[in-house]
Amino acid sequence: LPLPMMLFYNLSMIAFMANRFQLNEYYKCPPSDGHLMSSSVSWTPIPLYFLSSGVTFTLLYFICFLAMLQLKRHASNVLMLKLAIYDMLQLSVNSTATGFLGFYQIDYCDYPKLIFIAGTIGNGAWLAGAPSAVFVSFERLAEVAGGRMTDIFTKHNFRTLLILLLFWEFYPDIYYNPVHSVINYGLPIFLLAINATLVHFLLFKTNYHISQWLYKKKIQIIAQGLVLTIFHASTGIIYEIMQHYAVPSWMFIVGELSWQQSSAMMPVVYLTLNRTIQNQVIHLILPKSIRFKLGIKNVKETIAQENNQNAGALYVAPPAPAGGCGAKVGSQKNLACL
């Protein structure tokens, strides 16, 4: 099954389908609260922001996703592809769907099944994507630091890791999920620890190389890790607080914004700091003739050009025969000096 379809088969959806698409009593609305949908719309900035930004960020991420599909199936690229799928699913819920429902002032009790399914997809994508976010950072650290950490990303071990992640993606449960709390508390800890170690290696260790990322500056790597850590960590902490304590209404907006940015900032980072994806996106958008006039080449074209240059540099012309350049070699005129 394609990865997005797996989220429809986590335990929440299985329980929902097994109950003949009837919601459990925990999700049912009181009879007096049903069908309260108003035909009016809300022109307040908040739902309009979430709706418009959700469409924009999803489009940008989809372009980056298409670019990543063209790259070599290195461990980092595979993890980034998985994270991109879950991030786009989250954006469809925490931004586009949220803005649409808010714009038309649709309450949960107006369409409980629809909102239940949307919530299941959003929550499932968050729980399934969290390990991918951690391993994206860890793979980056392993490539910079080297040593035994790279063993996990060898072909056999990485295949085993993907299988374990596949089982994890089926897990998200219904109602109160203790693993949800483990993820929300553990995600900040792991991301902070991994990216702090990464910064240490970049700033204080000089003998490092990054073959797959094609960065020019250390700050680019640090910025990507910083963005990934800040928004994922803050989202987990805020939602865990809201799950257990009464909070003011503004906290829900802050949590929604943080959740949105944990996914939305990734394409922004890719398009501004990741030269590999930048070049590939330009390759997808601009025709080859225009790109070559501007001196823009993607990774494959750059490598092919370098190989041609290296091949030309290795060519050695044959020595001129006695008699100079105008002399004949057999029946052919000597061209070595031309």
Q: Which residues contact 242 (CB under 8 A, 6 or more apart)?
A: 251, 252, 255
Between the ranges 1-15, 125-139, 214-228, 250-264, where is the mean pLDDT highest?
250-264
**52 and 99 in contact (C-beta within 8 Å)?**
yes
**108 and 158 in contact (C-beta within 8 Å)?**
no
Domain boundaries, the chain: 43-288
| Residue 207 predicted with pLDDT over 50 | yes
DSSP for 216-252, written as a single string: S-HHHHHHHHHHHHHHHHHHHHHHHHHHHS---HHHH
Give me the phi and psi of 207, to 5 degrees please: -90, 75
| Residue 306 predicted with pLDDT over 90 | no
pTM confidence score: 0.77
| Residue 47 predicted with pLDDT over 80 | yes
pLDDT tens-digit readout, 221-248: 778 788 888 888 899 899 888 888 888 9
Residue 263: the pLDDT is 92
| Residue 327 predicted with pLDDT over 90 | no
Q: Among 2.40.37.10, 1.20.1070.10, 1.10.3470.10, 3.10.450.50, name the CATH number for the domain at 43-288.
A: 1.20.1070.10
**253 and 280 in contact (C-beta within 8 Å)?**
no
Residue 321 carries which DSSP code? P
Residue 1: the pLDDT is 37
Give the SS3 label for residue 42.
coil
Residue 303 banded pLDDT, cuts 50, 70, 90: low
pLDDT tens-digit readout, 164-176: 887 776 665 555 5
pLDDT tens-digit readout, 257-281: 999 999 999 999 888 888 788 888 8
3-state helix, strand, coil in the chain (%, to 5): 70, 0, 25
Q: Which residues contact 204 (CB under 8 A, 6 or more apart)?
A: none
Which pair of tokens denotes residue 123? 């929550």
Residue 206 banded pLDDT, cuts 50, 70, 90: low
**188 and 237 in contact (C-beta within 8 Å)?**
yes
β-pair partners for 165: none
Mean pLDDT of the chain: 77
**pLDDT, greater one: 148 or 2:** 148
